[in-house]
Structure 1
Amino acid sequence: MRLRNKPWAKEKLAQYPQYAVGNPAEHKGKWNEVFGNDNPIHIEVGTGKGQFLLGMAKQNPNINYLGIELYESVIVSALDRIIEAEVPNFKLLSVDAKDLTEYFAKGDVERVYLNFSDPWPKVRHAKRRLTYKTFLNIYEQILIDGGEIHFKTDNQGLFEYSLMSFSEYGLLLKYVSLDLHASDFEGNIMTEYEEKFSQKGSRIYRSEVKYMNEK
């Protein structure tokens, strides 16, 4: 899908520093000051237009959420949703996921969400997948001990690859669903892509994995 450029996006993000965090490296190790409380922080890598995290923020007011998205032309749509909803526990970062350790210290984050990430189906592009071992190492460096990754996708190949990658890295598999919408899982918040794919009859896969302290 071609990304529509929005040259005004950067300026608009700068106009709402209460929602779009500028200079995130300055907050490394002290994100509690950004939110004004000591509630746990969950991040979504590849937050897109923000539908998932907005739903989570409304559902869980005692958890702070940060949406990570590389493209300003995409994340500005999430900003519009936050402005309208006026949720205090959802903020945005327009940064590259491979640089997360520049912005977060060990223990800053309690949980990472990966929803409908680009599958990068070609073998030579495996290192770009957000469940590749180098990304798993990045998440480990910012998560609390025993922190978790919650992962959803409609792509069976990516799901199978990710389960293998999690296992090889030594993560504890807590939950697996091969058909989320036909399961008894409660409290699911759908992303934009999830709604689109499920309406077409696609099966949604979901897993939860946990980092082992002794690793």
Structure 2
Amino acid sequence: MRRRKKPGSEEKLLSKDKLVVKEPEKYKGKWCSVFQQIGEIHVEIGTGRGQFITTMAEKNPHINYIGIEMKEEVLLRAVTKAEKKQLENIVFLWFDANRLIEVFEKGELHRIYINFCDPWPKNRWAKRRLTYRSFLETYKSLLDKQGEIHFKTDNEKLFEFSLNEFSICDLRLRNITFDLHQSDLKENITTEYEDKFSQMGKPIYRCEAVKRN
């Protein structure tokens, strides 16, 4: 069944010209020109309501952030958060992650965040998972030589699947934890989903996958 759009949600989102980039394909290889500073570019795929990425941008003003989200009603909430915080180092794309190579040049990004993505639990859906090898090869091509992928999920099977896919794609794994909130990781920035799941007592799985030099 096709999801209904809330009346006027698209118009509200696209009217926010300062933070929602229209025609992002025009900035391929030139994303630093969108920001007021030259610096690393960090992307969150599936930014949701924006708690994670807006907090990251607030804490790291020297880094440029791009939030990507397909659901316009949800993205509108993330944009509103960024506006309230008066952030100048963040923009958003209303865009499909399957088309990343259309908007980013090879080596243009430094870090990609994938937080609590859809696990697509059935085996026949494996290719849809954002940590499937075809996606990972795309991420690798867009990351610079020291590029990183930071991944979090509450789904143990997805996490195990992802660890295998990272290894298959020759990404070096580090800071692997099967219970993030009981680990030694400092300054963990949470998402809305993460807060919900941790309050339910569910463990959070996290790792970092790094390009090999």
Task: Establish whether TM, by shorter chain, passes 0.5.
Answer: yes
Tell me, in whole angstroms, the C-alpha distance in 2 between the residues paired with 1:24 and 1:201: 40
How far does residue 13 in structure 1 lie from its aligned partner after superposition? 2.0
Amino acid corresponding to residue 22 of structure 1 in structure 2: K
SS of 2:174's equivalent in the other structure is strand
Deviation at 1:7, TM superposition (A): 3.3
Cα distance in 2 for residues equivalent to 1:192 and 1:120: 20
Q: What is the alpha-carbon distance in structure 2 between the residues aligned to residue 3 and residue 144 of structure 1?
A: 37
Pairing 1:182-193 to 2, within 5 Å after superposition: 182-193=182-193
Alignment match, 1:47: 47
Q: Aligned residue for 2:152? A: 152
What is the alpha-carbon root mean square deviation over aligned residues?
1.3
Asked if 1:163 corresponds to 2:163, the answer is yes
Unaligned runs of at least 5 residues, structure 1: none
Q: Is residue 2:95 matched to residue 1:90?
A: no
1:157-215: per-residue Cα shift (whole Å, max 9, x none)?
000000000011110012101111001111111000000000000000100010123xx
Show the counterpart of 2:210: 210
What is the identity, as a one-letter code, of the residue corresponding to 1:60? Answer: N
Identity score, percent: 50
Could you tell me the TM-score, scaled by structure 2's length? 0.96
User: Match of 1:5?
Assistant: 5
**What is the distance in 1 between the residues matched to 2:177 and 2:199?**
18
- Structure 2 Cα separation of the partners of residues 140 and 209 of structure 1: 10
- State the Cα deviation string for residues 20-75 of structure 1 (Å, max 9, x = none): 11110000001010002211010000000110001101111111111011111211
Match of 1:61 in 2: 61
Distance in structure 2 (CA, Å) of the matches to 1:50 and 1:108? 22
Aligned equivalents of 1:115, 1:98: Cα separation in 2: 16
The answer for the alignment partner of 2:118 in structure 1 is: 118
User: What is the aligned partner in structure 2 of residue 102 from structure 1?
Assistant: 102
Distance 1:187 1:4 in 2: 38
Secondary structure at the residue paired with 1:47? coil
Q: Answer yes or no: is the 8 Å Cα contact 1:98–1:138 preserved in 2.
A: no
Matched, 1:31 2:31: yes
The secondary structure found in structure 2 opposite 1:186 is coil
Instruction: Give the 3-state SS of the residue equivalent to 2:186 in structure 1.
Output: coil
What TM-score, normalized by structure 1, do the two folds share?
0.95
